[in-house]
Structure 1
Amino acid sequence: MRKSLLITAIFILIVNFVSAQNTRLGFTAGPVASTMFQKVSGKKHMYDFGYAFTAGALLDVPMQKHGSFQPGINYIMKNSKDTYTDPTTNKQVLAKYSLTYIEVPINVVFRIPAGSSGNVLLGGGVAPAMAIKGKTTNEIDNTITKDQGLNFGDETKDDFGQYDFGINAIAGYEFNNGFFIQLNYNHGINRLFVGGDPEDKLYNRYFALRLGYLISCKKKK
């Protein structure tokens, strides 16, 4: 039910903004470097970075002279890894996490003229996301011992919460022909742990380097 409502809301949003004058449609893709920040029993720990991929689409709706409102939708993989000692075997375990989300960023971007070829991009916003699948892989002595799926939800039996929410910071460059390159930092603020001590925290963090292209939605007369 929640998935259907989210898809319906996105569809209505897209239809409304595509009808706006001078709106452009953009497509993006690129690599992602992600990690997780953990705080358990007062101890802070940052997981090692994992690398993956993202692809998506956005709408560029003009705001004043140099600004744009940019809602979008992304398929994004947030991977990370962590090394710990198994207390029963006293062996080092490398745990790899792969979390896949549908993300709906809502950003505001400003353009600063930079020569005759294009504009510098600076902006930010928010990015709610919904997990659609995930898995974890454990390695001991370079041998995979366990590869299992992860459960997402709001019950104590689930591995992680279903929803994520992050703050975006954006910088990049847009060429006059519609091509652009964009560096995006996302700082997760939604607790991924389900149940347990509310003071224990786990958050996503990621950097994404996106290459994109904008095309006009305006019908030619």
Structure 2
Amino acid sequence: MKKVLLTICLAAATLTTFAQAPTFGIKGGVNFAKLQISAEGTDMTASSGNNTLFNAGVFVDFKFDKVSVQPGLFATAKGGKFSSNLMDDEGNALQDASAKFNLLYLQVPVNVVYHAPVTGGEFFFGAGPFVGYGISGKATANDGSSSQSEDVNFGDDGEFKTIDAGVNGIAGFKFANGFLLNLNYDLGLTNIANNSGDGRIKTRVFGISVGYQF
């Protein structure tokens, strides 16, 4: 993660030389997160249900006419929710069972953004890579009568790998006064499962946020 931040700082210093004066912004909102799971050695995949979480962070915009380069640093929560109906031997429903994962990442996206000015502001569309660093997590299981939670760990000895990486897209509208409405979608490309017996687990996040660009 330190290498990623250093690379971004060096790139930002270079961009400042050629771009207009950089502007800064803040954004925050809600994430609708899923986990895509595929069994090892097969092409079968399944997705969890949405887990409603949050995102918040800051960004810098280096603008070149109608195109800008926009790195940022965000706290973004990912995860998923799984549910099932427990049955007896005769097929009668006994109780509902569910489990959800909340995974918190520090995430660095670097987007190339196109700006389309209109009356009252501008539309913007962009895409680029992201790298996320897992810092904390929690798993909660509920069998219909009781629930139990435990911490989720990242790293070599944890349930999930520390690094999540992929591509993301953003779109939205910036008003003339600086306020922002923003949509984003993060497509995780790395397998975050530490144990190969768990198959492949990848993150999926759709986010809605508001913000302000100074």
TM-score (norm 1): 0.83
Q: Which runs of 5+ in 2 are unaligned?
A: 88-93
The aligned residue for residue 219 of structure 1 is none
How far apart are 1:159 and its partner, in Å?
0.5
The 5 Å alignment of 1:121-200 reads: 121-144=124-147, 146-153=148-155, 155=156, 157-196=157-196, 200=199
How far apart are 1:6 and its partner, in Å?
4.6
| 2:212 counterpart of 1:213 | yes
Q: Output the CA distance in 2 between the equivalents of 1:6 and 1:71.
A: 11
Read off the aligned partner of 1:103 and give its amino acid letter.
Q
CA RMSD of aligned residues (A): 2.4
How far apart are 1:18 and its partner, in Å?
6.2
How far apart are 1:96 and its partner, in Å?
1.1
Q: Output the CA distance in 2 between the equivalents of 1:69 and 1:8.
A: 17
TM-score (norm 2): 0.85
What is the total number of aligned residue pairs between the two structures? 205
The aligned residue for residue 48 of structure 2 is 47
How far apart are 1:158 and its partner, in Å?
2.1
How far apart are 1:7 and its partner, in Å?
4.9
How far apart are 1:24 and its partner, in Å?
0.2
- Secondary structure in structure 2 of the residue aligned to 1:152: coil
| 4+ runs deviating over 4 angstroms | 3-20, 84-87
How far apart are 1:73 and its partner, in Å?
0.4
The aligned residue for residue 56 of structure 1 is 57
How far apart are 1:163 and its partner, in Å?
0.5
Read off the aligned partner of 1:97 and give its amino acid letter.
F
The aligned residue for residue 99 of structure 1 is 103
Q: Is the 8 A contact 2:159 2:195 kept in 1?
A: no
Q: Which runs of 5+ in 1 are unaligned?
A: 216-221
Percent identity, aligned pairs only, is: 26
Q: Output the CA distance in 2 between the equivalents of 1:36 and 1:205.
A: 6
